[in-house]
């Protein structure tokens, strides 16, 4: 999302921020315009728009929100419109789950752990201190930032570990494979512009469909044969989210 929008937004003049959703009116009225956009950055699942006016607009898309370039042509629910010298950026959010807040200054404190795409030498020690199921641990943004539900299932499959196992039960070799699988899966997904499923819940900033859906090994494949061992892919629910795994080769 940020990779696609950054070149269009950074350096542009922000002329107006319109809160289409009245719930966000009071907060977005605090944005001082016109102002130049200094940078657009990602931190975990948050998007940070830094302005030269010394403010940061923090967007948390959550499950259904996404930032797009240009007004959508369909009946998508637009909640915020940013009018820039280079065009228009919008927040589309069908279920109105996304949050937007304005922070004075550029140093934004967020309740996030280290980035999943940064160096992971610390991972083994933190896992050894937790009894949380490993897939739930991977999705806890306070533990490690940037891993969503789809990718947590795929990472566990790549490593060959049962997502229901306690995090502290992983051995040294499994931790080593996990440290390799996290950037590998996320990097492949980024290269494929994300994952667009049949519900079209995620699209790129220009409406592009993410191509990583074609590479999914277990997610959404309940009842299908495992691509690695031929066993049957199962589904369970962890913390209200669907988890997919192969009990035959994920131990």
Task: Say which CATH architecture domain 2-104 belongs to.
Answer: Alpha-Beta Barrel (3.20)
One fold for 2-104 and 123-245: no
Q: What is the three-class DSSP state of 21?
A: coil
pLDDT beyond 60 at 201: no
**pLDDT value for 132:** 98
What's the start-to-end Cα distance of the chain, in Å?
34
pTM metric for this prediction? 0.87
**pLDDT value for 197:** 66
Pick the CATH number of 123-245 from 1.10.8.50, 3.30.1370.60, 3.40.640.10, 3.40.50.970: 1.10.8.50
Query: Mean pLDDT across the stretch 185-189?
Result: 94
**pLDDT value for 120:** 97
Could you tell me the two tokens for 226? Answer: 């495992």
Domain range list for the chain = 2-104, 123-245
* Residue 73 buriedness (CB in 10 A; 0-12 / 13-18 / 19+): exposed
> DSSP secondary-structure letter at 247?
T
* pLDDT tens string 97-132: 999 999 999 999 999 999 999 999 999 999 999 999
Identify the CA nearest to 212 among candidates 145, 154, 161: 154
């Amino acid at each position: 999302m940020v990779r696609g929008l950054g070149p269009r937004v950074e350096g542009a003049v922000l002329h107006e921020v319109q809160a289409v959703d009245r719930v966000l009116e009071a907060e977005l009225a605090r944005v001082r315009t016109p102002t130049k956009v200094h940078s657009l950055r990602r931190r975990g699942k948050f998007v940070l728009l830094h302005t030269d006016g010394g403010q940061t607009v923090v967007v948390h898309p959550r499950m259904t929100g996404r930032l797009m370039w240009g007004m959508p042509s369909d009946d998508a629910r637009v909640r915020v419109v940013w009018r820039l010298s280079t065009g228009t950026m919008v927040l589309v959010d069908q279920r109105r789950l996304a949050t937007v807040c304005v922070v004075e200054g550029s140093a934004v404190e967020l309740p996030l752990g280290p980035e999943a795409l940064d160096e992971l030498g610390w991972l083994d020690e933190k896992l050894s201190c937790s009894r949380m199921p490993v897939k739930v641990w991977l999705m806890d943004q306070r533990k490690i930032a940037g891993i969503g539900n789809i990718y947590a299932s795929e990472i566990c499959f790549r490593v060959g570990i049962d997502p229901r196992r306690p995090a502290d039960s992983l051995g040294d070799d499994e931790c080593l494979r996990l440290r390799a699988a996290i950037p590998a899966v996320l990097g492949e997904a980024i290269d494929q512009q994300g994952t667009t499923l049949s519900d079209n819940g995620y699209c790129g900033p220009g409406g592009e469909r993410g191509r990583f859906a074609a590479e999914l090994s277990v997610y959404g494949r309940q009842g299908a044969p495992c691509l690695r061992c031929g066993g049957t892919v199962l589904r369970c629910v962890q913390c209200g989210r669907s988890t997919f795994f192969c009990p035959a080769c994920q131990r």
